[in-house]
Structure 1
Amino acid sequence: MAEHSNGGRTAIVIGGGLAGMLAVTALVGHVDAITVVERDRYPQGRTFRKGVPQARHLHVLLTGGQHALDELLPGTLAALTDAGARTLCMPRDLITCMATGWQRRFHEPRHSLLSITRPVLDAVVRERALAAAVASPTRVDVLEATEAVGLTGDAGRVTGVRVRPRDGAQGARTVRELPAELVVDASGRGSRAPQWFAELGRSAPREETVDAGLAYVTRMYRPKDPATAPDAGINIPGWAESPRGAVYVPVEDGNWLLTMSGVRGHHPPTDEAGFTTFSATVGDPYIHELLARAEPLSPVHGFRDTCNRRRHYERPGALPEGFLVLGDAGCTFNPVYGQGMSVAAIGALAVRRTLAAGGGLRPGTAARAQRAVARAAQTAWVTAAGADRPYARPEDGRASLVERLNMRYLERFLARAAIDPVVGAAFRDVFCLTAPSARLVAPRILLRTLFLPRRPAHSTPPLTVETV
């Protein structure tokens, strides 16, 4: 499509992936025209594309992300289910082995994971986002195979984006400028906004990192006999004494994805024989035993860019007028925790609500929206960075006394959550992004965690579902 060239309130979204389409949905109705600048060409059908480096790995939407997505694009959860997404009720349909043993399998139908492959998720959201735009007064144009190479404006205000084509056509090195009242950076982990800020004569935002040095690998399987497939996904996260983990969950078409991970010195191999051998070294042999009953459908795919990184665009003075950052471009998490897509959806909903409350684009709107996006990411940041802090690099800073106390409490909390439905419910509220992290230290939860006796969880995977 060609970009909109008429007058009116205009916005540019850098990145046409999931976060970009969510940004479009948040802006529709509040601007007259949106131009999406996407580096790739979208594939025909629901297939993998090169510009999504994590595409072949496990992807889930948590409860908070599901609610946000369906508020942004009503009916999308049903469309994803129709496309084959699997809903795993927690903890009934996802059994977890902790350091103290297997978590009790409660039936508590408040939280779920939506498990689906990334190409299907991206395609469904993109189709519905663009269809919703067609039915709105906002015109949306997508520039595929086009790269954003910089911002226009000055240190105080962004006025547009400099772009050039990437498909090798004549004039492919020609840079042109697209003007806009608002530019949204939804370009993901590879965002170049800090460098672009320097070109405008302003400082990059303060950045925090917590890097556990974790790497993970994924392979798709199909049970040889569907009747013998497990009736729940299996999650065996790593812990201090066993820093290797694995998760095995169903996706569409009767297939299952196995993702295995390890911190520095424990990285899983990407060759087939090593992959299978590694599966026997995680905290429990259950997943390794299941592989004998399944056939592999894909090669082994690896991924290592798992650093938690937060750029504080929400701080006073950190953001020029007319610029907004959404999704991984501003706050990215270790993907092994499955929070990124949900946070992007919650952040996009926060942008929409900010625009609605403020009457659309006005001076200061982008800064208010950025603060709302930061609040939307706070719980996920606290949990992901806190979980990775024990394995962090020296340059990420030594854990403070408060952080060390929090880590000790969290260790005891997780052991209690595996056997206690009350503490377990608090854990799921926070993990699934429907409650702030303060929920973990609410008086009732604190007392149960600290003063009830410590007991081991199940020694074997639970087959019986318990009613709370």
Structure 2
Amino acid sequence: MGRGDALVVGGGLAGTLAAAALIGHADTVTIVERDRYPEQPVFRKGVPQGRHLHVFLSGGCRALEELLPGATSELRAAGARLLEAPRDVITRASNGWHRRFHEGRHTMISCTRPLFDTTVRTSVLARAAGSGTRVEVLQATEAIGLLGGADRVTGVRLRSRDTGRAERELSADLVVDASGRGSRTPRWLDELGRRAPREEIVDAGIGYSTQMFRPAEPLDMSVVIQPRPGCPRGAAWSPVEGGNWLLTLAGVRGHHPPTEGPAVLDFVQALGAPELYEHLRTCEPVSPPYGFRDTSNRRRHYDAPGGVPEGFVVVADAACTFNPIYGQGMSVAALSGLALRGALADGGVRPGLAAAAQRAVARAGDTAWLTAIGADRPYAAGSDTTPPGAAERVQTWYFGRLADRAAVDPVVGAAFRDITHLAAPPSRLLSPAVALRTVLLPRARGLASPPLRVEP
């Protein structure tokens, strides 16, 4: 099995999980991170979405446990909250409230992003210390270009962000871009004389804001309010560590949520969910609201034939980024790391690894892409948005009927949750039992009021 030296561009969660995948398959792994890590789990500038609601969906939890056995327990010990869906998460969709079943199938983790990042990074470095792989982190260092040529990447050009901004070159047998939504790989490939791959964009123009609260009397459930006809706005209310809860508000163009504290309750009141509004009036604000606007879904097809040169792989948000409002990004980062490890297990760092790994990474994001664009397509507009093809139009019609029926039908609802929690491939939605109930039964209506009782 081939080994050698690997370099990961980006030291956030995706980069840390990529490093976890490389343990045992490389002699050294160098993580290049623009920021300096704080000593304690605090918000940092280099994670622009860091103050917003983050979850590991059940599919992401399973991938995380495969990459880092025991990581879920470590997050729980650090204060992360576990939520079983739909028992602990009530949802109002466009057609009404979902029934609240106790399925015992999907458990997700909710906590602040700094706690996620710090706990996972500590786990990866501890795991590396007991392996044959040395992991080194270059902090306050940015990647500014690739070494090599159009057919093969041989390393990265680096620049210090400290005084003097010294530049240097670092060779590697494998370079992994895990730099996230702002990835500069298309430009870097162009500089090597290689055309960047085809790109798909679906932009609903959604903006969101998040504020932290401390409830006087916490609810026994999270609350999700999805947009509906006539009100393209939504909200999510979920617990994190330390007795705090996060409120994330979202809206499409012309309906962006406020970033001024006094206007937050007015926005919630307009959602038509009086129970959430009245509860929030009893909660103490812990932070101001923070906004975020860069929410387009963007997929770069590095998995296409010839999409990447040898010695180079693009993972997680750097390859396919989703509207963050759906909470899929961290789970896809874990699934991408697992896909990379699987490709390495088939022969290590070798000729053909880049193409094989890139195809596996693309498959790891397929389900998240399908669900994200299915939800955003009705609101998508603008010259950057890729128009839907015939297949996508059929998918959108089918997914809309299925999502409505999932609100009340235990069979369709179970399949819907398997997909939205990234725990099954899209083909799960086409099983005979699900397809027949979706297509032949009348379009369903949900419950008229929040389900306070859990059904078996």
TM-score (normalised: structure 2): 0.97
Query: How many angstroms apart in 1 are the aligned matches of 2:399 and 2:152?
Result: 43
The CA RMSD over aligned residues, in Å, is: 1.2
Aligned partners of 1:306 and 1:253: how far apart in 2? Answer: 28
- 1:196 aligns with 188
Counterparts of 1:381-420 in structure 2, within 5 Å, are 381-395=369-383, 396-420=385-409
Say whether the 8 Å CA contact 1:97–1:103 is kept in structure 2: yes
Q: CA deviation at 1:398?
A: 3.3
Is the CA contact (8 Å cut-off) linking 1:236 and 1:283 kept in structure 2? no
Amino acid at match of 2:326: Y
Unaligned runs of 5+ in 2: none
Tell whether the 8 Å contact from 1:14 to 1:36 is kept in structure 2 after alignment: yes
- The letter of the residue matching 1:361 is V
Count of aligned positions: 453
Aligned AA for 1:26? A
The CA distance in 2 between the partners of 1:186 and 1:424, in whole Å, is 34
The counterpart of 2:287, out of the listed 298, 314, 319, is: 298
Encode CA deviations 1:239-289: one digit per residue, 9 max, x unaligned: 333210000011111111000000111111111122221111125233222
Counterpart in 2 of 1:93? 88
Paired amino acid for 2:373: A
Alignment of 1:407-446 (within 5 A): 407-446=396-435
| C-alpha contact 1:244 1:283 (8 A) present in aligned 2 | no
Matched-pair contact (CA < 8 Å) for 1:245–1:283: no
Query: 1:258 is aligned with what amino acid?
Result: L
**Structure 2 residue identity aligned to 1:176:** R
Q: Distance in 2 between matches of 1:261 and 1:413?
A: 23
Aligned AA for 1:80?
Answer: L
Partner of 2:250: 261
What's the TM-score once normalised by structure 1's chain length?
Answer: 0.95
Mapped pair 1:126 → 2:121: yes
Greater displacement, 174-183 / 387-396? 387-396
Report the residue type matching 1:161 in the other structure. Answer: V
Is 42-51 or 396-405 further displaced after alignment? 396-405
Matched, 1:369 2:361: no
CA distance in 1, matches of 2:410, 2:125: 42
Residue of structure 1 equivalent to 2:201: 209
Which of 25, 38, 45 is 2:40 aligned to?
A: 45
1:326 alignment partner, one of 315, 321, 326: 315
Amino acid at match of 1:93: D
8 A Cα contact 1:12 1:184, kept in partner: yes
Greater shift in the superposed pair: 412-421 or 242-251: 412-421
Quick one: structure 1 residues 408 and 121, their matched pair in 2 at CA, closer, same or farther if it must change by over 3 Å?
Answer: same
Q: CA deviation at 1:451?
A: 2.4
How far residue 427 of structure 1 moved from its aligned partner, in angstroms, is 0.2
Mapped partners of 2:372, 2:297: distance in 1: 7
**Structure 1 residue runs without a partner (length 5+):** 1-7
Give secondary structure in 2 for the equivalent of 1:314: coil
Tell me whether 1:113 sits opposite 2:108 in the alignment: yes
Q: How far off its partner does 1:454 sit?
A: 4.2
CA distance in structure 2 between the partners assigned to 1:100 and 1:211 by the alignment: 23
Distance in 2 (CA, whole Å) between partners of 1:89 and 1:385 is: 25
1-structure distance, mates of 2:77, 2:169:
41
Where in structure 2 are the equivalents of 1:167-178 lying within 5 Å? 167-168=162-163, 171-172=164-165, 174-178=166-170
Q: Which residue of 2 aligns with 1:81?
A: 76
Shift of 1:401: 4.1
| CA contact 2:50–2:113 (8 Å) conserved in 1 | yes
Q: Aligned partners of 2:17, 2:451: CA distance in 1, in Å?
A: 38
User: 1:453 Cα deviation (Å)?
Assistant: 3.7
User: Structure 2 CA distance, aligned partners of 1:380 and 1:352?
Assistant: 20
SS for the counterpart of 1:34 is strand
Distance 1:313 1:349 in 2: 18
Residue 181 of structure 1 corresponds to which residue in structure 2? 173
Structure 1's 449 and 196: CA in aligned 2 closer, same or farther, altered over 3 A? Answer: same
Contact 2:343 2:356 survives alignment (8 Å):
yes
CA contact (8 A) 1:238 1:283 kept: no
Matched, 1:22 2:11: no
Q: Does 1:102 align with 2:118?
A: no
The structural deviation recorded for 1:455 is 4.6
Counterpart residue identity of residue 248, structure 2: T
One-letter amino acid matched to 1:212: A
Instruction: Between 264-273 and 121-130, report the one with greater CA deviation.
Output: 264-273
Amino acid at match of 2:271: V
> Aligned equivalents of 1:156 and 1:285: distance in 2?
59
Call closer, same or farther: CA 1:273–1:240 in 2, change over 3 Å: same
Amino acid at match of 2:445: P
Tell me the distance in 2 between the aligned counterparts of 1:136 and 1:106: 43
User: How much has 1:147 moved relative to structure 2?
Assistant: 0.8
How many angstroms apart in 2 are the aligned matches of 1:313 and 1:114?
Answer: 30
Q: Partners of 1:182 and 1:454 in 2: how far apart? A: 50
Say yes or no: does 1:72 pair with 2:72.
no
The percentage of counterpart residues that share the same residue type is 59
Change (3 A) 1:322 1:233: same
Whole-angstrom distance in 2 between the partners of 1:372 and 1:287: 41
Residues 86 and 115, structure 1, Cα contact 8 Å, conserved in 2 = yes
Moved more, 405-414 or 331-340: 405-414
CA contact (8 A) 2:201 2:386 kept: no
Cα distance in 1 between the residues matched to 2:370 and 2:443: 25
Following superposition, the deviation at residue 49 of structure 1 comes to 1.1
